Amino acid sequence: MAFQTSNPIHRAQEEMIKRAMETIDGTLLLHPVVGLTKPGDIDYYTRVRSYKLLTERYNLKHPVLLALLPLAICMAGLREVLWHAIIQRNYGANHLIIGHDHAAPMKNSEEHSLYEARDLMLKREEETRVKPILFSEFVDLPGENRYEEINKQSDPTIQKQGFCIWFTGLSGAGKSTIANILVIKLLEHGRRVTLLDGDNVRTHLSKGLGFSKIDRNTNIRRIGFVASEIVKHGGAVVCAAISPYSAVRSECRIMFSHNAFMEVFVDTPIEVCEARDAKGLYSLARAGKLENFTGINDPYEAPESPEVKINTIHHSPAQSTDLIINYLIKAGLLAGE
């Protein structure tokens, strides 16, 4: 029995699933769409957490297979319903539950499309080999309230405190790589995140600035100011910039309230950074063709007491991200699993 949904499952749907499963002796294929959905739908990460929560904590009395479907909702009506049936059959399903607005292009056509979809699937049953079960056949279902735990997954009041994670380290140390993985992890934990990457900031926010000490400090102050404004409004922000001078990093720290600024020192030896040298910057600096390059002809002042120090020789990017996530959980800035 396949059930395809694009939003967290509510009580009425769970009851409908239980009753539908009573008609067959088998497994429920919970097949949520996690590609592009309708405007206004709940975001991908919140939906996935709610599906996992439902399958792990609630007894549906039948085996459940949770399989994410990277599919875009096209709202193409009957043709899309038939397409979904073929997809479910390819996953081994014999039955497909059809909801009131399953791929319906217009609100006033939902009920009409529902029964047309059933009739079309019955006509094409020999081809699809999937039998339709209509949501509306269960007329005495309870209200559509979701479970309290599932409601919390999308509750905007949970974890309201903003915070800034500030990556510093040499060029090629791995700051951007770890920062991008961290953004995904924070999204999975239900936080809305802004990424301020050094290269992108210089393209837009700090366009026109050079690489003298004065210009570099101006660039870092701008990043710090924007990040502090995001944090004031409860957002999470990840900043990845070389930020070589300790004094201006300290200036940025005091822009934030207590416990809202976390410095992450990506401590990668210069030999390793130079070996990576994807942009060829170290080679240019060694040849005297690039001035004010950190670590070669401009100093890097390493943090004395960062909240997290990462050695990329001994930790992979994923392991490094876990160190940061664990710190945030211990600091009360992020909910644990």
Domain ranges of the chain: 2-153, 163-330
Output the six-digit token pair for 237: 């922000």
Cβ atoms of residues 261 and 302 within 8 Å: no
Per-residue pLDDT in tens (0 to 9) along the chain, 337 residues: 898 887 777 777 777 888 888 878 788 899 888 877 665 667 778 788 888 888 877 666 778 899 998 887 777 777 787 888 888 889 988 888 876 666 666 544 444 456 676 777 777 776 667 777 765 555 455 555 555 655 555 554 445 689 999 999 999 999 999 999 999 999 888 888 999 998 889 888 888 899 999 999 999 999 999 999 999 988 999 999 999 999 999 999 999 987 899 999 999 999 999 998 878 999 999 999 999 999 999 999 999 999 999 999 999 999 999 999 999 988 888 876 5
Instruction: List all residues 6 or more positions away from 118 whose beta carbon is below 8 Å from its beta carbon.
Output: 98, 132, 134
Look up residue 158 and give its two tokens. Answer: 């949970």
* Cross-strand bridge partners of residue 329: none
Q: How many residues belong to the chain?
A: 337
Pick the CATH number of 2-153 from 3.30.420.40, 1.20.1730.10, 3.40.50.150, 3.40.50.620: 3.40.50.620
Catalytic status, residue 305: no
* Identified catalytic residue from 243, 246, 250, 316: 243
Using only C-alpha atoms, the chain has a radius of gyration, in whole angstroms, of 26
Distance CA 188, CA 237 (A): 15
As a whole number of angstroms, the distance between CA 249 and CA 245 comes to: 7
Distance CA(217)–CA(244), nearest Å, equals 9
Q: What is the CATH number of domain 163-330?
A: 3.40.50.300
Instruction: Decide if 2-153 and 163-330 have a common fold.
Output: yes
pTM of the model: 0.64
